[in-house]
């Protein structure tokens, strides 16, 4: 079963952000990727791409280097400052020096225009597989108290009953689970969940952590697992 077939079977399409200012390229990619089970988002320039990644949290970015406002390598560097989302460059630049610069900036792969759709789809599947392997670490389920967190399925159960979390609550919990026992600094959490433009919004963290405690702690006013280190950050103790 291919990567895009698995996306269909799981009921959750892999989200791909296409960053390109050429309407014909964007249209062709939207049609072809959608036909293979991907959910396609688009951005016409570098600044909107940076914002979209922070807000929409795509699973993969397909990026042109020749953007109207920023060079694509600047976008790559901006993303790599806070996220490991896979980035595939799709560019008309064929010089090996351009490829080296893009890859050194943090791109995961480089495809030149004109391109074959079959090849691009194969590159996308490979990037998604690598990302899953890198973040999974062979670990699927983590438990604390009467809570069980399934990192692979992105599901939470408490006392055997399913717990509904919002996407933001899940992002926070997942980061704490993956770093359990360690302090997660406030700024790092803000960048991970909301993006680099929100790293001073510490009140966001207080609000959402309080919501998580109400859902997952036996006594939210005296948490045993979701702990605050005043002025520094947060920690999950199992």
Q: How confident is the model over 157-187, as pLDDT tens digits? A: 999 999 999 888 998 999 899 888 888 888 8
Burial class (CB in 10 A: 0-12, 13-18, 19+), 188: middle
In the DSSP assignment, the letter for residue 152 is T
Q: Where do the domains of the chain lie, and which CATH numbers do they carry?
A: 3-136 (3.40.50.2300), 141-236 (1.10.10.10)
Percent of residues, the chain, with pLDDT higher than 90? 49
What is the pLDDT at residue 197? 67
CA 196 to chain centre: 13
Residue 203 half-sphere exposure, CB side, CA atoms within 13 Å?
0
**Mean pLDDT of the residues in the chain:** 86
DSSP one-letter code for 205 = H
Enumerate long-range contacts of 104-109, CB under 8 Å, 24 or more apart.
105/73, 105/76, 105/77, 105/80, 106/76, 106/77, 106/79, 106/80, 107/63, 107/76
């Amino acid at each position: 079963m291919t990567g895009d077939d698995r996306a269909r079977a799981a009921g959750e399409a892999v989200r791909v952000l296409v960053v390109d200012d050429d309407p014909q390229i964007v249209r062709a990619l939207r049609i072809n990727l959608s036909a293979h089970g991907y959910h396609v988002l688009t951005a016409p320039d570098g600044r909107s791409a940076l914002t979209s990644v922070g807000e929409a949290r795509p699973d993969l970015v397909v990026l042109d280097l020749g953007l109207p406002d920023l060079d694509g390598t600047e976008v790559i560097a901006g993303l790599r400052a806070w996220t490991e989302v896979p980035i595939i460059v799709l560019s008309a630049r064929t010089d090996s020096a351009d490829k080296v610069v893009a890859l050194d900036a943090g791109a995961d792969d480089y495809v030149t225009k004109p391109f074959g759709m079959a090849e691009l789809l194969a590159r996308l599947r490979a990037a998604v597989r690598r990302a899953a392997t890198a973040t999974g670490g062979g670990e699927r389920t983590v438990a604390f108290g009467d809570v069980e967190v399934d990192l692979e399925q992105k599901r939470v159960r408490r006392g055997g009953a399913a717990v509904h979390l919002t996407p933001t609550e899940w992002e926070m919990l997942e980061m704490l689970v993956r770093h359990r026992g360690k302090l997660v600094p406030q700024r790092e959490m803000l960048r991970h969940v909301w993006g680099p433009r929100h790293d001073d919004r510490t009140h966001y963290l207080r609000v959402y952590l309080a919501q998580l405690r109400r859902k997952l702690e036996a006594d939210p006013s005296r948490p045993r697992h979701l702990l605050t280190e005043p002025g520094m950050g947060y920690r999950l103790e199992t």
